[in-house]
Structure 1
């Protein structure tokens, strides 16, 4: 056992890229759930200790870390998922920041603009996805990972965000052959595929808005 514990709400949300990474790497971890009503009512004692009052929380023994992207970067260093040199690491960090930019727009849509802004969001989405298609094309013609020759923590974060958009619109990647093949390629990785088909994964909605 790694001694890892991941605490989050009973949704995929900000914890899912972390779960994808751990599952694909074959790393055992305890997946704890915090109930949303209790957390936001201040009735979950764990909130008192959360550095920014937020989840996910990640523990490695006595070491505790918050903020999903910090957790991903930490696991990238722990498990050799942050490139083969400083230049690759720089590009991986860059891609991860780009994923975060798009995720913020997606979250804003889901929680505040869904009823009135979905069509507008989907109209603008191809311009956002084109950035990732272009980055992918420059690495072995899009046949491997987003950076370098081995998977990185940014791949898991990007994959999760692409899953979210495919749920939002199944045709969202139809104009992006490299991203479409990338999703299929990563989904087919044996340990990751097993997780994607698991009851634990599929009982969780993407966000509280997705029932």
Structure 2
């Protein structure tokens, strides 16, 4: 039976998991939970199932494959990496992978923090600080990647799909933020050219938006990008 992954009906934190599964050529099913309309944003579609799935830490995204039940984005990604040889193979690679993983996830969470605010005024207040933060963090990331094809060298791993997803969201948020870094732009193209990933992005089931649901001030409609 195909693994089941559950998440909201947006790309969000699920995208890197999907890309990892696509690269591994694993068939899977997705349970997409709907969020109600404003202003209440009813979550009952998820809440009605939240405590019935046998999850230790009930949350989305989740991954269920028989008796294997995992929540938390990074825990799911690490499991898939071990299962499908898409992770580090030695201590040196593990250290590098861990550092990059945490740096990337910090950027992703900073994007969610900046955009998941209650009012447009709060968003406009947060945005300049977040954009300044991106300048530094993207420079760090470009320096770490260097001339490598992928994070760990010539071999693609789950961290690449986490990095790709984060950079993709950032360039959709502010396209010019990636422009100073030719290696990051080439890296994005390289990931999209991977046969299984290219096939996925050309499929009818894929859309760049929504990235976030309507409660966020950016990412739920294509008109939100670019600024």
Secondary structure, in 3 states, of the residue corresponding to 2:177?
Answer: coil
In structure 2, what is the Cα distance between the partners aligned to 1:36 and 1:204?
15
Picking from 126, 135, 138, the partner of 1:117 is 126
Contact 1:57 1:64 in 2 (8 A): yes
CA drift at 1:199: 2.7
How has the CA–CA distance of structure 1 residues 118 and 86 changed in structure 2, closer, same or farther, with 3 Å as cutoff? same
Q: Deviations over 1:72-124 (max 9, x none)?
A: 00001001011231210221121111111111111001112433222332233
Which protein has the bigger helix share? 1
In structure 2, what is the Cα distance between the partners aligned to 1:85 and 1:196?
31
In structure 2, what is the Cα distance between the partners aligned to 1:42 and 1:177?
43
Matches within 5 A, 1:23-172: 23-37=22-36, 40-41=43-44, 44-49=47-52, 50-112=55-117, 113-137=122-146, 141-142=147-148, 144-172=149-177
How has the CA–CA distance of structure 1 residues 6 and 43 changed in structure 2, closer, same or farther, with 3 Å as cutoff? closer
Contact 1:10 1:34 in 2 (8 A): yes
CA drift at 1:39: 6.9
CA drift at 1:194: 1.5
Contact 2:6 2:32 in 1 (8 A): yes
How has the CA–CA distance of structure 1 residues 40 and 135 changed in structure 2, closer, same or farther, with 3 Å as cutoff? same
CA drift at 1:48: 1.3
CA drift at 1:204: 4.8
In structure 1, what is the Cα distance between the partners aligned to 2:31 and 2:17?
13
How has the CA–CA distance of structure 1 residues 43 and 27 changed in structure 2, closer, same or farther, with 3 Å as cutoff? closer
The unaligned stretches of length 5 or more in structure 2 are: 222-227
Could you say which residue in structure 2 is the equivalent of 1:206? 211
Matches within 5 A, 1:179-190: 179-190=184-195
Contact 1:8 1:56 in 2 (8 A): yes
How has the CA–CA distance of structure 1 residues 201 and 100 changed in structure 2, closer, same or farther, with 3 Å as cutoff? same
Contact 1:39 1:47 in 2 (8 A): no
